[in-house]
Amino acid sequence: MNTLSYVLRVISLSFLFAGSTSIIFAALALVHAGQEQGIPPTVTAAGNAPMFTMFSTVVFVCAILLLIAEALHYAITRSLSTPIKARYIASFICVVAAFVLKLGIIPQMEHLSLKDPDDQKVHAVFKKFHEASRVDFTLIIVASLISLLIPGFENSRRSAAAKTEEAQALS
């Protein structure tokens, strides 16, 4: 069961980190390429919308798997050391940000994109949601990376402690 928790956790965090980073990079590259061809950023961004909509589903599923993985880990270990708490907090931030993206931001952006593109009020509200999505993706990327890295620091700290104990035993 612990292996299942570990595999679910690593796969979901990998998708959340690398996938989110990749989708942002791809969107920026497409907008930049469009601008070089004289296409306004709003037109290019509108073309990117289906990619974000589909990816938000992947993010949502990965967030659910991450939540299951962390719950399994806690159920098995019942450990709340400081690094484990930090990992759980980072994972929870990632899950919440993913839920906000899929259930809050993306549906509103889809709804607004169906309205008149020349309406300045609609454009201003859309821009607010777009900025919120940037913050949300940043949270997903940073929190998933932190959650991925924490166990590595915990393991190095454990091995340093074991070496210290071994050295003391030899003295």
Task: Look up residue 160 and give its two tokens.
Answer: 């340093």
| Terminal-to-terminal C-alpha distance of the chain | 40
User: In which domain, by residue range, is 27 found?
Assistant: 2-170
Q: What pLDDT does 119 receive?
A: 82
Task: Look up residue 32 and give its two tokens.
Answer: 């930049």
* Sequence-ordered list of residues with C-beta below 8 angstroms from that of 5, at least 6 positions apart, any chain: 69, 70, 72, 73, 76
Q: What pLDDT does 167 receive?
A: 56
Determine if residue 78 is left, alpha or beta; phi over 0 gives left, psi from -120 to 50 gives alpha, anything else beta. left
Task: Look up residue 29 and give its two tokens.
Answer: 């590259």
Q: Are 137 and 101 in contact (CB under 8 A)?
A: yes
Report, as an integer, the average pLDDT of 137-142: 98
Ranking 23-27, 59-63, 112-116 by mean pLDDT, the lowest is 112-116
Q: Does 158 have pLDDT greater than 70? A: no
Q: 31, 49, 28, 50: which is closest to 39 by C-alpha? A: 31
Alpha-carbon separation of residue 29 from 22, 25, 43, 45, 162 (angstroms)? 10, 6, 14, 11, 47
- What pTM did the predictor assign? 0.86
| DSSP 8-state class, residue 115 | S
Q: 134, 71, 72, 65: which is closest to 97 by C-alpha? A: 134
Average pLDDT, the chain: 89
Ranking 66-70, 99-103, 112-116 by mean pLDDT, the lowest is 112-116
Task: Look up residue 98 and give its two tokens.
Answer: 């993913």
Q: What pLDDT does 48 receive?
A: 84
| Better pLDDT: 48 or 149 | 149
Q: 106, 90, 105: which is closest to 139 by C-alpha? A: 90
Number of domain units in the chain: 1
Report, as an integer, the average pLDDT of 138-143: 98
Q: What is the tens place of the pLDDT at every residue in 53-97?
A: 999 999 999 999 999 999 999 999 998 999 999 999 999 999 999
Report, as an integer, the average pLDDT of 23-43: 90
Quote the percentage of the chain above a pLDDT of 90: 63
